[in-house]
Structure 1
Amino acid sequence: MTLYSATMHKRFAAQSVFADLLRVRGSSSRRSSLARLFGLSPLGADSMSWYLGAEGEIVVGSFLAKLPPDWTVFHAVPADSTRSETDHLVIGPGGIFTITSKNHAVDIRVGRNTLQVDSQPVSYLQNAEAEAERVTNLVRERMPLVAPVQPVLVFVDPGLLTIEAKPVQVKVLNALDLCPWLIRLHPVLTAGEVQEVADLLDSPQVWRALPDSTPEAVQERFTELDVRLRSAGRRWLTWAVIAAIAAIAAGFGVLQLITAATAAG
């Protein structure tokens, strides 16, 4: 393993998800010519969740890019010596935040200690708390008096986000509300403290070793895959429309035959 990035700033939203998706897809069989013709997705069922996750991180990253200049944002941050990572790490006047992005177009129900996605319980709250705790411990090794890191969980285009009770530690938001919420927070860090924390967390030496591939190479390969996926979607839609027209035409032809037979009788 080698360090390829001079600073964490070089990492982009969903970089790690891109790399994992490309790795998973690389081990799967390629589409046949016929499959490409009819618009079969280049992603298997096991890869689509990675793709949707990447889309969610990209959307949240685009929102965070609009924060005022006194805020610093890092993406795809390795949290420890395992493969665990933080989607987005934000430092600003309002404090330090680990932000987890989720992309679910279904109903989300949030309780004090529970969270359900489409009526299924998930451990998102507990995972978000663990991420924030890891980063808090890491920062406090070098800056003991810094405030705890705040875990934030954001949902991109949820079907319905219902917060029945506010979680104890984790802030849960619709992605659209993230930046307005951050900006409204009461300042707890001075400009100097924000810069000190940002400088600390910008160093790759603070984190685990990163994969031996450049961000540009990962992004280029994902862009190629994204183009193929969207092209497949258009082909599939075209064939679906053709099939629908053919079915209507066949039905109309059958109706004419029945009408003719009835008139003849």
Structure 2
Amino acid sequence: MTNQAPSMGAHQAAQSVIEELLRQQNGTPERTRFGRIFGVSPLGDGSVSWYRGAKGEIAVGEILATLPPEWRIFHALPIGKKGADIDHIVIGPGGLFTLNTKNHRGQGVWVAGRTLMVSGRRVSHIRDSEHEADRVTRLLRERMPRLAAAQPVIALVDPKSLTIKKSPERVAVVRDTGLRRWLLARPPVFGSAELTDLAAVIDDPATWPTAVFPPTEQPMVDFAALDAQVRQAHLRSTLWKLLGLGASTAAAVLTVPPLVAALMNVFLGGVENP
């Protein structure tokens, strides 16, 4: 009796990123008692970017989950030999979309044609998104030769600003807050029968390359526990900083009156005794 591989639709948002994050965390030393008390992050240096990426993909996944029922959402689909994956594939009346989620919380994003810069630093998001869409299109056309090409989308999570001087030719760059509205505004290209066929192909594990790493047991449960530790550490660190600021302010308040009195004595003494 053979075990049937789970469908791709069973994947959770950020699942691949979370599995890599947990692998990175395996080599991270445990925090000391004082580290926990003073809010030292449990994340290792190599885990921070994976954690941010996971938070971004989860946020976008929650937005996609609010789409109408005729839309289908797939997460964390393997496409490469080195563990590369597609963050999200979205299909609906408006087309086939590959979403590349980027968590640039608090950073300025500037776009002009094929150039995309984050806080003044040029990044390869546009090229990477095109490559992912092309790869998905090739894989799906092996089963559906006449399928329209996938539309690449960069979904930006909570950027400080988004300035688009010139839109890229192929890639849509969209804030997370406007993603749902943007998808629903696409003109219809698929009927219900086509969407059913396409969803079946995407859902079939045989359509996709075998994942490089075996699946991790209960990754979402482990991530929830780690996320709680990270948020608690951030809260404690913030409280200690506020306590430090409060103590400094109180010390300054207590120090100022004697200092002013001393200066006045010097000044008045100087006036009385020229």
Amino acid in structure 2 at the alignment position of 1:78: P
Residue equivalent to 2:138: 137
Structure 2: runs of 5+ lacking an equivalent: 267-274
Task: Name which one, 1 or 2, has greater alpha-carbon Rg.
Answer: 2
Which aligned segments of 4 or more residues in structure 1 are displaced greater than 3 angstroms? 259-265
Between stretches 21-30 and 53-62, larger displacement belongs to: 21-30
1:56 aligns with 2:37: no
CA distance in 2, matches of 1:26, 1:131: 29
SS, match of residue 155 in structure 1: strand
SS, match of residue 114 in structure 2: coil
1:263 Cα deviation from its structure 2 partner: 6.8
**Paired residues for 1:159-238 under 5 Å:** 159-210=160-211, 211-214=213-216, 217-238=218-239
CA distance in 1, matches of 2:27, 2:136: 33
Amino acid in structure 2 at the alignment position of 1:16: S
1:209 Cα deviation from its structure 2 partner: 2.5
1:214 Cα deviation from its structure 2 partner: 4.8
Q: When the two structures are superposed, what TM-score results if normalisation uses the length of structure 1?
A: 0.93
Query: Quick check: 2:152–2:170 contact (8 Å CA) kept in 1?
Result: yes
Amino acid in structure 1 at the alignment position of 2:16: S
1:264 Cα deviation from its structure 2 partner: 6.9
Q: When the two structures are superposed, what TM-score results if normalisation uses the length of structure 2?
A: 0.90
Residue equivalent to 2:24: 24
**Paired residues for 1:24-103 under 5 Å:** 24-103=24-103
CA distance in 1, matches of 2:263, 2:123: 60
1:213 Cα deviation from its structure 2 partner: 3.1
Residue equivalent to 2:246: 245
Between stretches 175-184 and 10-19, larger displacement belongs to: 175-184
| Root mean square deviation of aligned Cα | 1.8
Structure 1: runs of 5+ lacking an equivalent: none
- Report Cα offsets for 1:62-111 as digits up to 9, x if no partner: 11101111110001111133311100001111111100111112111111
1:46 Cα deviation from its structure 2 partner: 3.0
SS, match of residue 209 in structure 1: coil
CA distance in 1, matches of 2:67, 2:132: 22
- Report Cα offsets for 1:35-77 as digits up to 9, x if no partner: 1111011113432221111111111111110111111000111
CA distance in 2, matches of 1:4, 1:229: 36
Amino acid in structure 2 at the alignment position of 1:99: L
Q: Percent same amino acid among aligned pairs?
A: 40
CA distance in 2, matches of 1:262, 1:140: 83
Name the CA shift for 1:214/1:20 in 2 (closer, same or farther; >3 Å). Answer: closer
How many residue pairs match? The answer is: 262
